[in-house]
Amino acid sequence: MKVGVGMRILRKNLFSRLKKDIRVVFERDPAAKSVLEVVFCYSGLHAIWMHRISHALFKKGWIVAARMVSNFCRFLTGIEIHPGATIGDGLFIDHGTGIVIGETAELGKNVTLYQGVTLGGTGKEKGKRHPTIGNNVVIATGAKVLGSFKVGDHAKIGAGSVVLKEVPPYATVVGIPGRVVVLHGTRVHNEEEFRQALLNICKSQGYDVNNPNTRSEIFEEIDVDLDHDILPDPEKEMLEVFSRQIQRLENKVAELERELETTRAEISAESERTSALEISMVDKKVNLTKAKESSE
- The pLDDT profile of the chain, 296 residues, written as one tens digit per residue, is 444 544 455 555 677 778 777 877 877 777 888 888 888 888 888 888 898 989 989 888 898 998 999 899 889 888 888 998 888 888 888 888 888 998 888 898 888 888 888 888 876 667 788 888 988 888 888 889 888 888 888 888 888 888 888 888 888 888 887 777 766 665 555 556 666 666 666 666 666 666 676 666 655 544 433 233 344 455 777 788 888 899 999 999 999 999 988 888 888 888 888 877 777 777 666 666 666 666 66
Q: Report the 3 state secondary structure along the chain.
A: CHHHHHHHHHHHHHHHHHHHHHHHHHHHCCCCCCHHHHHHHCHHHHHHHHHHHHHHHHHCCCHHHHHHHHHHHHHHHCCEECCCCEECCCCEEECCCCCEECCCCEECCCCEEECCCEEECCCCCCCCCCCEECCCCEECCCCEEECCCEECCCCEECCCCEECCCECCCEEEECCCCEEEEECCEECCCHHHHHHHHHHHHHHCCCCCCCHHHHHHHHHHHCCCCCCCCCCCHHHHHHHHHHHHHHHHHHHHHHHHHHHHHHHHHHHHHHHHHHHHHHHHHHHHHHHHHHHHHHC
What pLDDT was estimated at residue 250? 92
**CATH no. for 91-231:** 2.160.10.10
> Which pLDDT value is given to residue 108?
86
Residue-level pLDDT at 249? 92
How much is the pLDDT for 233?
56
Q: What is the structure's pLDDT at 162?
A: 87
What is residue 39's predicted lDDT score, i.e. its pLDDT?
Answer: 85
Show me where the domains of the chain are located: 91-231, 233-288
Amino acid 253: pLDDT: 92
